[in-house]
């Protein structure tokens, strides 16, 4: 029996997954006494730290009681499901983390279903039991019901439960008896998770994740399923389509702490990183040189949404970005395909525009935000859901939407969701909140979050997961208000914004450069209005003292990238540059917009 345990950690966004891994690393004294590690060690890119979510799966390994525990941190958001599905292949068990108040959320359900179907043994950790009005016992019951509904085996239903507070650094088998360390959790992992088995035979290893180094190029990461892999060993790479490419392992690494250490061989059951193999993709099998045998190919759920990516052709083109040509855009999108399994890129009739398919708005916005930070300038169109023909019927993706809101505003939420063809399925109290569950077309969710947060004073907690394709639900009303469009290129003035404040709310402050066709605000009516924000005050020599000082302008509304994606309509683009996010009409002059108006009349 090998002294190795492989365990994946799954949880909903913000239930304390990354903090738990931090504390396990500290408990096993992975760091030197004088080493300042900080917090959220695994969320190592800026986007993950800012949003507080895990986007890319990471591997770390710790030593506890002479046993090596490989920990795999997985994303919690359903939009990154492609990342989760393949990573679970490396694990023998899962640690399911739940918030002691919120309980199991829809996206936890999504990942748990994948884990249970692979036959992994679960350990449940009820986290944040130090919070006010937490309900650990109810959450335990809820998770048992969830496992039962997902078709867990009897062995999986006999799961151990640990209670604790990752933030305060303790875990215990009884939530009313806190300890002062994390050892009860680590002991439970050793006791309940099977040691990684050693399978005799010829080499088999599936590539489930990849890393990149500027020195050695792409690095294949996976778990050795059978046999032993050695340094300098000749191997066969079996591609997804069954074709075989001969290659050689140059270097081998296993994980230790937060880093990797070089080794000469890795036996089956352990997770390793392989350097020196060219042209591999995720899902390929590294097999024996003479008798290659392929492992089952990883199947990934289909994308549900697409967006048009095109080069920036606005009047401010090239002012801020380093990469602005269609060739650079194309190279970057195809490079993303190598590691982002759930993404698809399709070329369009226009040479400088690409349709990018993804799992949801967050999935696509993370890609756009990453490109923007790398120095790319681009424009993106309105997100569109993918429609399929099933048995001769037009079908669209349907999502299960859950909203937790204070009871006095639940009526507003139900009204907003039903306007978008949502159907209320469940309405029940949850602590001091109302828990609502709907079935709603994926189209209806685009733009819904903003409206619900506005209607509930920011108190709604929303989550949704993909259910299935169902027949088309009919027309959904879009944005109710029109927009204010700039008439001229120039710098906005406080004088003209002040004079137009009764026409709507503005997205720009005084002294900002705008161009003709740029969307500068929201109109109070449902039609678009062209306004001149560049006009200054006519100076005369007659002047009342102090009359210029009392210009009072409401602060401009600033949208995040996701909010922009939910806000725009079919005839609008978001212009994304390293320093700015602007909204604009596709056709900048009023004349062009009138000529092409019929193109954008949707159902």
18 assigned to a ligand binding site: yes
Helix (H) or strand (E) holding 95: strand 93-99
Report yes or no: 76 and 13 within 8 Å, Cβ to Cβ. Answer: yes
In order, the DSSP letters of 471-520 are E--------SS-EEEE-SSEE--HHHHHHTGGGEEESS-TT-EE-TTEEE
DSSP per residue over 37-69, as a string? --S--S--SHHHHHHT---S-EEEEEEETTEEE
Measured at the CA of 445, the angle between CA 442 and CA 74, to 5 degrees, comes to: 80
**How many CB atoms are closer than 10 A to CB 30?**
20
Inter-residue contact 60 to 257 (CB < 8 Å): yes
129 is annotated as contributing to ligand binding: yes
Other CB atoms within 10 A of residue 549 CB? 6
Interior angle at CA 251, CA 246 and CA 256, nearest 5 = 135
Q: CA–CA separation, 515 vs 492, rounded Å? A: 10
74 in a labelled binding site: no
Whether 77 has a binding-site annotation, put simply, is no
Is 499 labeled as ligand-binding?
no
Q: Which residues contact 457 (CB under 8 A, 6 or more apart)?
A: 409
128 is in an annotated binding site: yes
CB 374 within 8 A of CB 321: no
Q: Is 19 annotated as a binding residue?
A: yes
Question: Per the annotation, does 15 bind a ligand?
Answer: yes
Report helix, strand or coil for 147. Answer: helix
291 is in an annotated binding site: no
What residue has token string 């800012």? 50
Would you say 180 is a known binding-site residue? no
User: What is the distance between the alpha carbons of residues 380 and 333, in angstroms, rounded to a whole number?
Assistant: 13
Binding residues for GTP: 14-19, 127-130
Binding residues: 14-19, 127-130
């Amino acid at each position: 029996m090998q002294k190795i345990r492989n365990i994946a950690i799954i949880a909903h966004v913000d239930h304390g997954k990354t903090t738990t891994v931090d504390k396990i690393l500290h408990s096993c004294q992975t760091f030197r006494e004088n080493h300042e590690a900080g917090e959220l060690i695994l969320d190592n890119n800026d986007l993950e730290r800012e949003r507080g979510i895990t986007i890319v799966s990471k591997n770390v390994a710790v030593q506890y009681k002479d046993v090596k525990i490989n920990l795999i941190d997985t994303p919690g958001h359903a939009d990154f499901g492609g990342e989760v599905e393949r990573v679970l292949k490396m694990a023998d068990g899962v640690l399911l983390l739940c918030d002691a108040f919120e309980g199991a959320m829809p996206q936890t359900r999504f990942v748990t279903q994948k884990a249970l179907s692979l036959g992994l043994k679960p350990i449940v950790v009820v986290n944040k039991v130090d919070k006010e009005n937490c309900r650990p016992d109810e959450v335990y019951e809820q998770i048992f019901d969830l496992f039962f509904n997902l078709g867990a085996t009897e062995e999986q239903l006999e799961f151990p439960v640990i209670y604790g507070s990752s933030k305060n650094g303790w875990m215990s088998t009884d939530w009313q008896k806190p300890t002062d360390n994390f050892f009860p959790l680590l002991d439970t992992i050793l006791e309940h998770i099977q040691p990684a088995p050693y399978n005799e035979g010829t080499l088999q290893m599936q590539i489930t994740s990849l890393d990149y180094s500027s020195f050695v190029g792409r690095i294949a990461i996976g778990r050795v399923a059978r046999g032993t892999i050695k340094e300098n060993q000749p191997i066969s790479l079996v591609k997804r389509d069954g074709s075989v490419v001969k290659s050689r392992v140059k270097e081998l690494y296993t994980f230790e702490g937060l880093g990797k250490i070089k080794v000469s061989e890795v036996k089956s059951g352990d997770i390793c990183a392989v350097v020196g193999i060219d042209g591999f993709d995720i899902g390929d099998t590294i097999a024996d040189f003479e008798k290659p045998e392929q492992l089952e190919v990883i199947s990934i759920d289909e994308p549900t949404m697409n967006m048009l990516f095109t080069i920036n052709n606005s009047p401010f083109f090239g002012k801020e970005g380093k990469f602005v040509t269609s060739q650079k855009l194309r190279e970057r999108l195809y490079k993303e395909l190598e590691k982002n399994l759930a993404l698809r890129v399709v070329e369009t009739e226009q040479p400088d525009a690409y349709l990018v398919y993804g799992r949801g708005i967050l999935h696509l916005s993370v890609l756009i935000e990453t490109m923007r930070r790398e120095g790319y300038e681009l424009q993106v169109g309105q997100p569109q859901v993918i429609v399929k023909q099933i048995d001769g019927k037009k079908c669209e993706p349907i999502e299960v939407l859950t909203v937790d809101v204070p009871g006095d505003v639940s009526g507003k939420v139900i009204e907003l969701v039903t306007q978008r063809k949502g159907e209320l399925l469940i309405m029940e109290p949850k602590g001091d909140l109302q828990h609502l569950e709907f079935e709603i077309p994926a189209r209806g969710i685009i733009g819904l979050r903003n409206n619900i947060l506005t209607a509930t004073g920011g108190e709604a907690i929303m989550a949704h997961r993909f259910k299935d394709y169902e027949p088309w639900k009919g027309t959904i009303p879009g944005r109710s208000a029109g927009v204010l469009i700039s008439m001229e290129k120039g710098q906005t003035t406080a004088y003209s914004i002040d004079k137009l404040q009764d026409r709507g709310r503005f997205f720009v402050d005084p002294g900002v450069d705008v161009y003709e066709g740029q969307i500068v605000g929201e109109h109070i009516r449902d039609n678009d209005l062209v306004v001149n924000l560049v006009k200054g005050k006519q100076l005369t020599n007659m002047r009342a003292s102090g009359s210029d000082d009392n210009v009072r302008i409401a602060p401009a509304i600033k949208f995040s990238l996701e909010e922009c994606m939910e806000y725009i309509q079919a005839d609008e683009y978001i212009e994304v540059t390293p320093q700015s996010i602007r909204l604009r009409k596709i056709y900048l002059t009023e004349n062009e917009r009138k000529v092409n108006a019929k193109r954008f009349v949707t159902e």
